[in-house]
């Protein structure tokens, strides 16, 4: 069978004081008819990205409301993940396409994983393109199938998308972050469900300023000087090189500024190390640029500390599926500056809960505006936190999934 992922025990009632009793009661009511239904989530990796972060909370909450929910990850070697990384980039607009040999590799590993998939599920939710062929190969192993897309398909490489679409045809439902991501050909099967963060997870729980300062200090940050921070994978779409360029413009007016680029290296992202090394090279030995990843002992607590302590959180993406780090920053009431792309404008109202930018110069300018006006930063931060509380916390995501299950008559 596919590799099961162990998740912690979580209780929906623990979230009531944050999201409100009304939402919790609605979730319980929706879950009553679904008691004992067998739900399987299938993804490519158990850590290192937004999908795994979502499932680490969503799966145990589904269990808590009475579903028999499991999460399993697919089997794959480097040749497979090299191909799927290319596919991921192409679906987000990269002109480079997979070769016929790489498509054959993708198909072969999907066939292997299809054989290993156990049967008897009421609904199987397949996350992203890596295992997308499962429904076409072993549709009889689940009563209902859902394809959950976490990437930006608004301007895809059409050749790659057209080759993938036949594998999506057997899915009765496909779930996207926003309407702009729905490709032609879904024929009414598309559902819009934005992702969400867990406010009680170590990365997002309330943190005292003293604890944040202590942790940042351990990584060489001068906690008495201002700090810009971007938390994201080392990926060309996240534009860490552009972040460094923006930092250098800020530094011309504010020489004391520091920059932290914090990311995790995911098991399904072999390209990540190349871009990590390119980012280090672009920093050119600047002692005020701190480039950190999970192999430097940077985990969820440390990310929380950096986001909670920094003066401006950046997410200067050039393409973005949704950007959970944006919601994380808003939830911590930090002033935010990010790219006006993908799912970021869905989360940020420009000038009210943060700033949206399109260039390095705009990113630097908005960052300086916040750094020079602490009152502005506080106003943006307070408004952003309330927006995140109302729209982007996991209980709302759980409710949306239960609603979809009802529509599918799971």
81 three-state secondary structure: helix
pLDDT in tens, 334-375: 999 999 998 999 999 999 999 999 999 999 999 999 999 999
Cα radius of gyration rounded to whole Å, the chain? 21
Alpha carbon distances (Å) from 36 to 33, 39, 40, 67, 329 = 9, 9, 13, 5, 36
pLDDT in tens, 374-384: 999 999 999 99
Average pLDDT, the chain: 95
What mean pLDDT do residues 80-109 have? Answer: 95
Band the pLDDT of 273: cuts 50, 70, 90: confident
Q: What are phi and psi of 153, to 5 degrees?
A: -105, 20
| Four-residue CA torsion sign, 295, 201, 238, 385 | negative
Which has the closest alpha carbon to 313: 300, 299, 330?
330
Band the pLDDT of 152: cuts 50, 70, 90: confident
The angle subtended at Cα 320 by Cα 404 and Cα 71, nearest 5°, is 45
pLDDT in tens, 188-246: 799 999 999 999 999 999 989 999 999 999 999 999 999 999 999 888 889 999 999 99
pLDDT in tens, 171-194: 999 999 999 999 987 877 999 999
Q: Which residues contact 252 (CB under 8 A, 6 or more apart)?
A: none
Strands (E), 15-164: 38-43, 68-73, 121-127, 142-148
Percent of the chain with pLDDT over 70: 99
User: What pLDDT is stored for residue 374 in this prediction?
Assistant: 94
Percent of the chain with pLDDT over 90: 87
Which residue would you say has higher pLDDT here, 74 or 274? 74
d(CA 405, CA 402): 5
The angle subtended at Cα 383 by Cα 382 and Cα 386, nearest 5°, is 90
Domains detected in the chain: 3-196+393-408 (3.40.50.2000), 209-391 (3.40.50.2000)
d(CA 310, CA 209): 11
User: What pLDDT is stored for residue 294 in this prediction?
Assistant: 81
pLDDT at position 269 over 80: no
- Tell the residue number behind the tokens 């192993």, with chain if given: 141
Q: What are phi and psi of 231, to 5 degrees?
A: -110, 115
**To the nearest 10°, the Cα dihedral for 33, 36, 40, 45?**
110
With beta carbons less than 8 A apart as the criterion, state whether 155 and 89 touch: no
pLDDT in tens, 97-127: 999 999 999 999 999 999 999 999 999 999 9
Say how many Å lie between the first and final Cα of the chain, rounded.
Answer: 23
User: What pLDDT is stored for residue 268 in this prediction?
Assistant: 60
pLDDT in tens, 35-68: 999 999 999 999 867 899 899 999 999 999 999 9
User: What pLDDT is stored for residue 267 in this prediction?
Assistant: 60
What is this structure's pTM? Answer: 0.90
Band the pLDDT of 281: cuts 50, 70, 90: very high
What mean pLDDT do residues 87-91 have? Answer: 94
């Amino acid at each position: 069978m596919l590799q099961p992922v162990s998740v912690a025990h979580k209780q929906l009632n623990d979230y009531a004081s944050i999201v409100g009793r009304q939402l919790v009661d609605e979730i319980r009511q929706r879950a009553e008819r679904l008691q004992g239904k067998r739900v399987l989530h299938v993804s490519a990796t158990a850590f290192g990205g937004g999908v795994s972060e979502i499932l680490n909370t969503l799966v145990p909450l589904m269990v808590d409301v009475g579903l028999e929910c499991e999460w399993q990850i697919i089997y794959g070697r480097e040749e497979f993940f090299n191909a799927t990384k290319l596919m991921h980039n192409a679906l987000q607009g990269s002109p480079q396409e997979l070769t016929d040999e790489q498509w054959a590799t993708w198909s072969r590993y999907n066939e292997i994983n299809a054989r290993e998939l156990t049967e008897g599920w009421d609904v199987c939710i397949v996350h992203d393109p890596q295992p997308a062929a499962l429904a076409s190969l072993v549709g009889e192993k689940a009563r209902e199938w859902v394809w959950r897309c976490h990437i930006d398909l608004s301007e895809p490489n059409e050749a790659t998308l057209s080759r993938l679409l036949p594998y999506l045809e057997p899915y009765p439902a496909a779930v996207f972050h926003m309407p702009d991501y729905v490709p032609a050909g879904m024929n009414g099967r598309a559902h819009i469900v934005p992702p969400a963060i867990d406010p009680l997870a170590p990365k997002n729980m309330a943190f005292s300023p003293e604890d944040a300062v202590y942790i940042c200090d351990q990584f060489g940050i001068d906690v008495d000087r201002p700090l810009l921070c971007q938390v994201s994978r080392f990926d060309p779409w996240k534009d860490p090189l552009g972040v460094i360029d923006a930092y250098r413009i800020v530094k011309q007016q504010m020489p004391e500024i520091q920059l932290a680029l914090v990311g995790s290296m995911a098991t399904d992202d072999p390209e990540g190390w190349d871009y990590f090394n390119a980012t280090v090279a672009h920093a050119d030995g600047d002692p005020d640029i701190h480039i950190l990843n999970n192999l430097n002992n940077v985990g969820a607590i440390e990310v929380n500390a950096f986001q909670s302590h920094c003066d401006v959180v950046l997410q200067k993406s050039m393409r973005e599926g949704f950007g959970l780090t944006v919601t994380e920053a808003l939830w911590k009431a930090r002033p935010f500056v990010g790219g006006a792309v993908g799912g970021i404008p869905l989360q940020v109202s420009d000038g009210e809960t943060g700033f949206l930018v399109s260039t390095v110069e705009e990113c630097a300018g908005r960052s300086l505006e916040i750094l020079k006006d602490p009152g502005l930063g506080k106003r943006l931060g307070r408004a952003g936190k309330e927006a995140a509380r109302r729209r982007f916390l996991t209980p709302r995501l759980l409710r949306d999934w239960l609603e979809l299950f009802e529509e599918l008559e799971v």
